[in-house]
Amino acid sequence: MTFRTSRLAWNVLSRTGAAALLAFLVAPVLALILSITWADFTAGLAHPLAAPALKLSLLTSTCSLLLVTTLGTLLAWHLALGRGRAARWLETLSQFPIVMPPAVAGLGLLLAFGQRGAFGRWLAAATGFSLPFTTAAVVLAESFVSAPFFIQAAVAAFRRLDPELLLAARSLGASPARVFARVGLPLSAPALLGGAATSWARAVGEFGATLMFAGNLTGRTQTMSLAVYTAMESDLRAAQSLAVVLVGVAFGLLAVLRAVPR
Amino acid sequence: MSAVDVQIAGAVGAFDYEVALHLDAPAALVLAGPNGAGKSTTLKAILGAVRPERGRIAIGGADVFDAARGLDVPTELRAVGYVPQAYALFPHLTALENVAFGLRGPDRSARARAMMERLGVADLARRRPTSLSGGEQQRVALARALAPEPRLLLLDEPLAALDVVSRRQVRRFLAERLRSLEIPSIVVTHDIDDARTLGDRLAILERGRVVDSGDLTSVLQRRASPFAAELAASAFPQ
C-alpha cells in the first residue's frame, strides 16, 4: 500500500469509527426530544406522577448536594493534604461507590441503615425513626452514589494548590482553618463548582440504590428517574415528558461545566 | 544569647542532615550551597514545615522546637516571615490584601499600606499579583512577610525567579533592605553573586552539613570546600 492510500484509509476508517460512536451517543437524546410534540410534552407533564416527582427530585438532590459538598469538601481537603499510604487508601475507599453496582449499593444501605442494620437498629431504638422507604433514605442513596464524583474533583483541585501558598499563609499566622477558608477554598472554587455540578447530575439520575433502599412511593420516595420507570408502564407520553425534562437539566449542567474554568 | 539558634538533625528519604546555625540580631545570614545541600530542608525546619528528628530551634531566645522535650510550635505561632522562591503571592487577592493577610485589627489595611510605602510598592496596592513584574512581586512578598513584624525573616532563593537585568536591580535593593532590618534574616541561595552580596554572615552547607560559617570575608578566604572556593574565586577574581 502506498503512503497516500494508507493515509486515505486511516482517514476514512478513523473518522467513520469516530462518527459512528458519536451518532450512537447522540441518537437516544435526539429520539427523546424529536419524537414528542409540544402538546404531548405539556400533557405528559400534567400526569399525576410528574409534579410530585419533580418536587421530590429537586428537594432530595438539593439536600444531597448540600450534604456532599459540605462534608465532601472537608474530606477532600484532608485527603489532598494527607501524605503516605493511608491517605491514598482512604481516597480509593471514598471512590468505591463509583464502581459499585447501584443495586448492590442499595442493598448495602439497607443492611447498614435498615431496621436490622447496626446503625438502623440504634437509630430506631434511640428515636423510633426508621430510615428505609423515607425521603431521608432517598437523600442518603443519592448522596452515596454522587459523593465520589465531588470528592474526586475536590481532591484533584486541592492537590493542584501550590504548597508554598499554604506554607506562606501559615507563616503569616493563619491557622489551618483559616488557610483552608481564605486560600484553599477560594482558589479551588471553580473546580469545586464543576465537581458539584457532576455530583448533582448523578444524584438527580440516581435510580437503583434509591429503588432498593427507599422504594418507589409517589410523593415520598419517587424521584424523577423512578417516575419515568413507573410511567412507562401506563403512559409512555408522561415518561417521555419527564425524560425530556431530565435531558434539559443534563444539558444545562453540561453548559455550566463547560463554562467553568479549569 | 543568639537571636536564632538552630541545631537540627534528621533524614529526608535517603538524605541525612545535621545543621547548626547561630545568628545574632540583626544580622543577615546567607545560607549558601549547591543544589541538594539541604538548604530548603533547613529553612522548612525553621518554619515548622519539616520536623527534624533531633535537635532544637530557638528564635529570639524562645524555643520553637525541641525534640528532647517534644516541643514543636506550629508554623503560624513561630512569627517567622517567609518569602518563598516564586513569592507565592495569593493570586485571588490584590497586592494590598496580600500584605494585609497576616495582620489583624481595624487598622490592618492602613498598616499594610504603610509597609507597602516603606518598600516603595504603595502604587501597586490594587493590582493582582499576576499583573506584577517579578521584581514587583518580590517587593510585595517582602512587604507581606514583614508586615506582621516577625522575629526572623527567611528568604528562599529570592532572586532565582528573576531575569538577569531585574536580578541585578533587585539584588541591590534587597541587600540594602536586609541590612536595614531590625530583625535577623536568613537568605538561602545557590547563586554565588547572591551569596556574596545579600548578607554579612555566610554559612556554607554541603551534603547536609555546615562546612564553614562566619563573617563573609573570612569564610571566603578560608575556602573550606569546593563550593566555598568557587565562591571565593568569583568574589576575588584573579
Domain assignments of chain A as residue spans, ordered by start: 1-35, 38-259
pLDDT, tens digit, 9 for 90 and up, residues A64-95: 999 999 999 999 999 999 988 898 999 999 99
A247 in contact with chain B, both atoms CB, cutoff 8 A? no
Burial (Cβ within 10 Å: 0-12, 13-18, ≥19) of residue B173: middle
Counting other chains too, the contacts that A224-230 makes at CB distance below 8 Å and 24 or more residues apart are A224/A53, A224/A54, A224/A56, A224/A57, A225/A57, A226/A53, A227/A49, A227/A50, A227/A52, A227/A53, A230/A49
Nearest beta carbon to residue B81 from set A165, A171, A182: A171
CB A208 within 8 A of CB A103: yes
A250 in contact with chain B, both atoms CB, cutoff 8 A? no
Those of residues 61-100 in B touching chain A at CB distance below 8 A are 74-82, 84-86, 88, 90-92
**Residue A1 clears pLDDT 70, i.e. is over it:** no
238 residues of chain B, pLDDT tens digit each? 458 999 999 987 778 899 999 988 788 899 998 888 889 899 999 999 999 999 999 998 899 999 999 999 999 999 999 999 999 999 999 999 999 999 999 999 999 999 999 999 999 999 999 999 998 999 999 999 999 999 999 999 988 888 888 888 888 888 888 888 889 999 998 887 888 788 888 999 998 999 999 888 898 889 888 888 888 887 776 5
pLDDT, tens digit, 9 for 90 and up, residues A188-203: 999 999 999 999 999 9
How would CATH label the architecture of A38-259? Orthogonal Bundle (1.10)
Whose cell is 474533583? That residue is A153
Domain assignments of chain B as residue spans, ordered by start: 4-79+152-235, 89-149
A175 in contact with chain B, both atoms CB, cutoff 8 A? yes
The CATH number that domain B4-79+152-235 falls under is 3.40.50.300
Q: Which residues of B touch A182 (CB under 8 A)?
A: 101
Residue of B nearest to A166 (CA): B88
pTM metric for this prediction: 0.88
**Residue A128 clears pLDDT 80, i.e. is over it:** yes
Query: What single DSSP character describes residue A180?
Result: I
